[in-house]
Amino acid sequence: MQHKEDEASHEMREQPKEIKARAHDDAAFDHDDSAAHEGVHHDPHVLSVHERLVLARQQAEAAGEDGADKTPRGHSQGNDSDSVGVESVVGSAFWRNHSMISVGSAKEYPEEVLRVARQMAGLDERNFLILTDLAQRRAWRNAYSLIQYRGSSWYLPLIRPAEPEEERWEVSFSREHGLVITLAGTRVEINVVGYLVRAVLVVLIWFLLWSVLPQKLLEPDGYVFDPLVTVLVSAIVGGLLSRLLQIPPLIGILLVGAVWNTIPPTGGLTNGIHKEVRKIASKIGLTTIVLRAGLSIKPKDMQGRVLSIVGLATLPAALEMVVHSFVAKAVFPYTSLTWAFLQGAISTGVSPSVLVPGVLTLRLEGYSTKGGPSTILIPASPLEMAAAIWAINFIVGLLFASDMSLGLNIALGPIQIIVGGIIGVILGGVHFGFVWLFKSEAQKLPHGRFAREHVERVAILNLVTLLILGGCLVFYGLKVGLGGGGAIATAALGFTAGLLMRRQDKSQFWQDQLTLVLAHISDFWDIVVVPIFFSMVGSAIDLGALFNKHFFPRALACMFAGYGVRFLCTVLVTLNEDFSWGERLITAAGWLAKASVQAALGRLALDKAKDKVANLEGLALTSNSTAFDHALHEAHDEKDQAQIIANIASLTILITAPLASILFVKIGPKVLRKDVG
């Protein structure tokens, strides 16, 4: 409570002298009334805001004097004057100003609110707007910004802790709450009618598309039908399971997508999902989460931590790749160590799409906000991902005879990081200029600030511009084989945009922009990207090919050998930081999260091997030599080895993404320190 009072006092000190003078000064009220009374025009259509408020107060006082013997409904005789005065002020002035409170609804508000409303009658238009803006900002920060997201979405039912008077274990149904399932004090409310309405809307959307597009696209195995159904089933069923099991929604969506793909015959319900659709979903997810990571980086948190960030982005991944690769060469029938190292590189790349949301959730809940894992995990994740993308493209180039020289292929690693960072910084400055132009499209209000509606519209344009620029970098980078540079450029774009907004610390407009953009990109991730991205990732996983006696034990040997080394190395890297042991363990556990790189590039070698086989088989009719038969046999061997790597990528996602997410949600609050205030 003391903290909130101090905060309020600090904000009041930042306000104009008029606001501070009028806060509790009844003399100022009287002065305003008398000064305005001389020239008040009693036509409400031509009165200023200040004149309307003064007129309303005069009318309220007159009503209190003339009708002192009349008792308003719901009030005692002893409170006549105050009741009539407050209700008239709130009713007349606020109603004429098209505001919130009318005469009929005044008595619905607490007495404290009505008392403040009466005091506001002495403010002029400028100061009235300042007070409104102050109330909006404090409401945003205190009421909303630190609330953990537990609400409902289009695919998530409402979840909340059970009240003391409610059952801790219960299954019930009511018209008000729908189907209620309470497990160990956590109450999940499923609005059955709402889901039925959603189902009707889905059918109507399908009918609309069926009427517009070629019918074969909207039928089973169609390029539109199968992706839409997969996303809806994975999101709704996976979202419900995640609420019941109290796990992050992305896990439920991923698992349901994999099960949906494996329903016999395998792939029968997902045949219509073209591989390009999965690639687009993966790139959108990568763009969004790397931007979010860049925006969330605070420069002051990185001071003195550069060595730890670079060490975290390089050492654990390098050691994991080496150990994993040698174990893979020993247990899988690879024809060369190069194939084994491709498997190691595929399984190494960390996933910001799993890591960043978990870190930010803990930070928003107040855990390790002043330092801690987020200060090195968030900036290091794009760096390691970029290095992994470069390593994968480099090894694939070696295996499939890339036209690029070996020296240039090696040099592309550091070049991508440096040039990508420079491009991202430049585009961050360009983006800031765009937003500045958007801002100047409106004029400031009398209190010196922009209307809230304009600020919010600019924030949406701000985010859309960031997503477009980031999408161009990621999509084009992956298209030309420079995906690592695209990811680094996107992270630098987000970091530069956030840095430039943070540096305008004397401008409330730019502070609001940063807050709103972070909120909007978080909503975009939760509502749009998570169901699409993780359902598409899950739909590419064949559970039957992963969980069999020939593949699964060998894959586990490779993966956990590498994970063990990675975990220990991450803990050693954090020894340079002032972390508690709980923070070190969460850092190491979070650094195991994999999904983005594996989803985007896990099938890269397999696609190239299939193309090679198809080309050779196309030439089989015109060639019948022993050398050609040998080349075709080698191509089929490469295809089999590439299939092992694709399966490793799928199993890596299926194991590490749920593991890291659960550790963040369940273990993080128990081992991290919670900062007060």
DSSP summary character for residue 102: -
Buried b (16+ CB within 10 A) or exposed e, 35-56: ebeeeeeeeeeebebbbbbbbb
pLDDT of residue 505: 77
CB 270 within 8 A of CB 261: yes
- 274-288, 358-372, 387-401: segment of lowest average pLDDT: 358-372
Q: Which residues contact 262 (CB under 8 A, 6 or more apart)?
A: 541, 542, 543, 544
C-alpha pair distances (Å), 285 with each of 351, 418, 467, 488, 541: 11, 23, 11, 15, 18
As beta bridge partners, residue 178 has 174
Buried b (16+ CB within 10 A) or exposed e, 499-525: bbbeeeeeebbbebbbbbbbebbbebb
Secondary structure (3-state) at 153? coil
Q: Considering only CA atoms, which of 262, 263, 256, 269 is closest in space to residue 229?
A: 269
CB 311 within 8 A of CB 570: no
More confident residue, 367 or 472: 472
C-alpha pair distances (Å), 177 with each of 180, 350, 420: 7, 41, 51
pLDDT exceeds 70 at position 517: yes
As beta bridge partners, residue 182 has 170, 187
For 311-356, what is the HEC assignment? HHHHHHHHHHHHHHHHHHHHHCCCCCHHHHHHHHHHHHCCCHHHHH
More confident residue, 89 or 535: 535
Average pLDDT over residues 96-101: 44
Q: Compute the distance between CA of residue 183 and CA of residue 444 in angstroms, rounded to an integer.
A: 52
What tens digit of pLDDT does each residue of 643-673 get? 999 999 999 999 998 888 888 878 888 888 8
Contacts of range 469-474, beta carbons closer than 8 Å, 24 or more positions apart: 469/427, 469/430, 469/431, 469/493, 470/287, 470/288, 470/290, 470/291, 470/494, 471/283, 471/284, 471/287, 473/287, 473/420, 473/423, 473/424, 473/427, 474/283, 474/286, 474/287, 474/290
Secondary structure (3-state) at 658? helix
Q: Which residues contact 556 (CB under 8 A, 6 or more apart)?
A: none
Block residue for tokens 């905060």: 7
What tens digit of pLDDT does each residue of 590-641 get? 999 998 888 888 888 998 898 888 888 777 666 667 777 788 888 899 999 9
CB 99 within 8 A of CB 23: no
Q: Extract the tokens encoding 560.
A: 């956990």
pLDDT exceeds 90 at position 59: no
CB 50 within 8 A of CB 36: yes
What tens digit of pLDDT does each residue of 423-474 get? 999 999 999 999 999 999 988 887 788 888 899 999 999 999 999 999 999 9
CATH architecture of 274-424+488-502+509-671: Up-down Bundle (1.20)
For 542-582, what is the HEC assignment? CHHHHCCCCCHHHHHHHHHHHHHHHHHHHHHHHHHCCCCHH
Q: Which residues contact 423 (CB under 8 A, 6 or more apart)?
A: 473, 485, 489, 492
Q: Compute the distance between CA of residue 608 and CA of residue 596 in angstroms, rounded to an integer.
A: 20
pLDDT of residue 432: 96
What tens digit of pLDDT does each residue of 140-165 get? 554 433 333 344 578 888 888 888 88
Q: How confident is the model at residue 13 (pLDDT cuts 50, 70, 90)?
A: very low
Q: Extract the tokens encoding 605.
A: 């070698």
Q: Compute the distance between CA of residue 361 and CA of residue 672 in angstroms, rounded to an integer.
A: 13
pLDDT of residue 56: 56
Q: Compute the distance between CA of residue 183 and CA of residue 170 in angstroms, rounded to an integer.
A: 7
For the four alpha carbons of 607, 610, 615 and 616, in that order, the dihedral sign comes to: positive
Q: Which residues contact 620 (CB under 8 A, 6 or more apart)?
A: 628, 632
Q: Extract the tokens encoding 490.
A: 């996107």
What tens digit of pLDDT does each residue of 166-210 get? 888 999 998 888 899 998 888 888 888 888 888 899 899 999 999
Q: What is the mean pLDDT of the chain?
A: 80
pLDDT of residue 139: 59
Q: How many CA atoms lie within 13 A of 579 on its CB side?
A: 27
For 527-673, where are the alpha helices, taking DSSP H only?
530-539, 543-546, 552-573, 581-590, 596-601, 604-619, 626-662, 668-671
Taking every pair of Cα atoms in the chain, the longest distance, rounded to a whole number of angstroms, is 114
pLDDT of residue 18: 44
As beta bridge partners, residue 186 has 161, 183
Q: Extract the tokens encoding 597.
A: 């790189």
Q: Which residues contact 546 (CB under 8 A, 6 or more apart)?
A: 552, 555, 647, 650, 651, 654
DSSP summary character for residue 367: B
Q: Which residues contact 264 (CB under 8 A, 6 or more apart)?
A: none
Block residue for tokens 């080698």: 634
Q: Compute the distance between CA of residue 610 and CA of residue 620 in angstroms, rounded to an integer.
A: 15
pLDDT of residue 520: 92
Q: Compute the distance between CA of residue 231 and CA of residue 535 in angstroms, rounded to an integer.
A: 6
CB 501 within 8 A of CB 514: yes
CB 417 within 8 A of CB 485: yes
pTM score: 0.74
pLDDT exceeds 70 at position 19: no
More confident residue, 65 or 654: 654
pLDDT exceeds 60 at position 275: yes
- What is the DSSP track for 167-234? -SSEEEEETTTEEEEEETTEEEEE-HHHHHHHHHHHHHHHHHHHHHS-GGGGSTT-TTHHHHHHHHHH
User: Rounded to 5 degrees, what are φ and ψ at 173?
Assistant: -140, 135
Burial of residue 333 (CB within 10 Å: 0-12, 13-18, 19+) is: exposed
What tens digit of pLDDT does each residue of 300-329 get? 878 888 999 999 999 999 999 999 999 999
Q: Extract the tokens encoding 505.
A: 């610390």
For 14-79, where are the alpha helices, taking DSSP H only?
17-22, 26-37, 49-66
Q: Extract the tokens encoding 118.
A: 């009466």
Q: Where in the chain is the domain with CATH 1.20.1530.20?
A: 274-424+488-502+509-671
**Helix-, strand-, coil-residue percentages of the chain, each rounded to 5:** 70, 5, 25
